[in-house]
Chains A and B, each alone.
Chain A
């Protein structure tokens, strides 16, 4: 059934033009998750959901983290697409009450697209959040569909954790940040037949303003510290409509939104345009009426625009008005109840014999150097050694955390289930290799066309689910980017996994002079994995540096960072299957799995 028909049957009448516009946005794949929410429901969850994933780090702090994609905008305009991608995910993490502390990116391109690197670098550096890691995968698979997946991480104090919902009628919603313009609004063609917004092209390019974002970060954190924030949500896809309706719908509440109060930067905007504009660098804050003036004072102090735009009501209706004219009046929950596409059951089979599909071996070092990885002085392990390691200053128990971002599209293209499963396992190995205990993961689903090929999507998510359940890693958050196709041809199923782990001992072993060993197995047998993981932990605890990578022929970047330490290595890279259970250890280690010397570090 077409979405417009579903909408009209739910409304019980023909939809108005404004309703069509609003639901085109809210029921688009990007906002509504129609093809994936059935699957996502079945994943083992961590935390309380909301905008970004939350996991406890220690008794006083939580980690907020999520991965988000900005693939289609980056294909059209690489610099701004990548930059606004960073902006969006940073706000997602911020909205939980956490100060953003790190960015990692997973880039799949057919060649190094300077605009994308520049976009992430420019935005991340300007707002003062270090980019501490990432992966760069170069392959012709992505010639017309580059993938830009950005993960943001933040640390917050438990007393500052913010819900992403309104809790009682009588609260008000303040929208603040940059002024609103016509960014992201599609042209005059209303999608009256097909409401899947992901397929609709956006005519105006979104441009990022990192200065405004930095001001927004400081303003919001000041509000949080002063106890003025009762709920919050960042404004991303769907703008004011999406943020305000989600805030109230989650609690079964309603809202009256006064669109004429939204600070504008373009004259003569239509009410519906104000409602769905995707102007960047804006946040919605739920607060009590008596606190709202203080919120606005902080907004003004930080040179931003802001206004009390909505009241929370108890009747469950979402009413958007422009002065006295009612622009939209629908049940708030209807906006969130995007139709669910059929989900399919996938029956996993044992891993096939995989072929090597090697992505290009690039020295990512040149790319790292364009990202400030040190700002904040909490980066303990810089890019290139494996996962990043960060510390939390002022924590009495000197706790730290590990961060990794990883994908195996080369396996995903051969078997989407195992592509996802192996990515999770390899992420666990990487986390353990720096002495961290895995806490949770965030998943970035990047897929081609699920209407044409639904089983690949089902397989990919099933692989994620099974790996998480078998190895005890809950899913804290995630993102899905579908329809990455060009003239009918799609990208390989690319599951990007971001994982965080907790570290109690910040003295991470580093590479040192001496023999280098290959430890483990050159092929893969699932039943051996738990033993491998135990061995990795043992070896790290004995003070030896462990490197866990999927392709030991691709060590250019690692070699470069090793040289930066004044060290060199001469090894015979171990030959492995494309999926294997092998790690490299600097120094001899007592271990129950096979181990042989492959060279030395000097």
Chain B
């Protein structure tokens, strides 16, 4: 049985890609970077945080329409696991793979701090190592994290206190099949205690073990 493989998509302007790779390798993934022209050959695809295309038009707008977009959609249809972190979440929303919209924080400012979150759904491949209702601490660092609900959605994590004006304090959601997970907080920055919190480790561990137990989707 092969080692679960993760690929981190590096868009022009992504800047949390190295952190994401580090987190994947930390839990045991065979992990590598790919760019917008690459083919996908992975069990887990990570869309990392950053400022793809400078966020110059709308956050994630240009990145969502790159050559790799169709391949990501096919990967999702094959039940591949995708996690979109921060800018990655914004890209998934612009791609239509997740519902809703991510707009500017209600106070109009970028916010960088460690916040408390509540895990609402521990039945996803990304949250099986958490307890339902568990409180965890993850860092946020974003200017456009206000989640606007446009239809019913599966909320996986929510903020305990309002930090950016998100509807229903939504911090992270999945699609109906629960194989696409988008969240504004950065689990890849919380995998070692020395960094302030290691609650993010279990997101990657859950995904790793889900793939190990259920088999991956690599062709």
Q: Which residues of A contact B (CB under 8 A)?
A: 121-122, 125-128, 209-211, 214-215, 302-303, 368-377, 379-380, 382, 391, 393, 506, 564
Chain B window 25-68, contacts with chain A (Cβ cutoff 8 Å), 1 for yes, 0 for no: 00000000000000000000000011101111000000000000
Distance, CA A515 to CA B112, complexed state (A): 31
Distance, CA A302 to CA B195, complexed state (A): 31
Q: Which of A303, A368, A376 contacts B19 (CB 8 A)?
A: A376
Q: How close is B32's CB to chain A, nearest CB, in angstroms?
A: 16
Q: In the complex, what residue of chain B is closest to A368 when comparing beta carbons?
A: B112
- Once the chains bind, are B112 and A371 in contact (CB under 8 Å)? yes
* Interface membership of B186, Cβ < 8 A: yes
Q: How many A-B residue pairs have CB under 8 A?
A: 79
Distance, CA A550 to CA B184, complexed state (A): 39
Q: How close is A479's CB to chain B, nearest CB, in angstroms?
A: 26
Distance, CA A215 to CA B93, complexed state (A): 24
* Interface membership of B133, Cβ < 8 A: no
- Once the chains bind, are A375 and B141 in contact (CB under 8 Å)? yes
Further 15 A-B residue pairs, CB within 8 A, beyond A126-B54, A211-B13, A211-B54:
A121-B110, A125-B51, A126-B55, A128-B50, A210-B51, A211-B56, A370-B109, A370-B111, A371-B112, A372-B110, A372-B112, A375-B49, A376-B19, A377-B195, A380-B195
8 contacts between A and B (CB under 8 A): A125-B51, A126-B54, A214-B12, A369-B112, A375-B16, A375-B19, A377-B19, A377-B188
- Once the chains bind, are B18 and A376 in contact (CB under 8 Å)? yes
Instruction: Tell whether A373 pairs with B16 under 8 Å between CB atoms, given A126-B54, A211-B53, A380-B195.
Output: no
Report the interface size for chain B: residues with CB under 8 A from the other chain: 31
* Interface membership of B189, Cβ < 8 A: yes
- Once the chains bind, are A125 and B195 in contact (CB under 8 Å)? no
Q: How close is B10's CB to chain A, nearest CB, in angstroms?
A: 9
Q: How close is B90's CB to chain A, nearest CB, in angstroms?
A: 14
Instruction: List residues of chain B with CB within 8 A of the CB of A371.
Output: 110, 112
Q: How close is A93's CB to chain B, nearest CB, in angstroms?
A: 16
- Once the chains bind, are B19 and A215 in contact (CB under 8 Å)? no
Instruction: Tell whether A209 pairs with B54 under 8 Å between CB atoms, given A374-B186, A375-B19, A377-B22.
Output: yes
Instruction: Tell whether A302 pairs with B51 under 8 Å between CB atoms, given A121-B110, A370-B109, A374-B189.
Output: no
- Once the chains bind, are A302 and B110 in contact (CB under 8 Å)? no
- Once the chains bind, are A126 and B112 in contact (CB under 8 Å)? no
Q: Which of B15, B111, B113, B191 contacts A375 (CB 8 A)?
A: B15
- Once the chains bind, are A379 and B19 in contact (CB under 8 Å)? no
Q: In the complex, what residue of chain B is closest to A217 when comparing beta carbons?
A: B15
- Once the chains bind, are B141 and A380 in contact (CB under 8 Å)? no
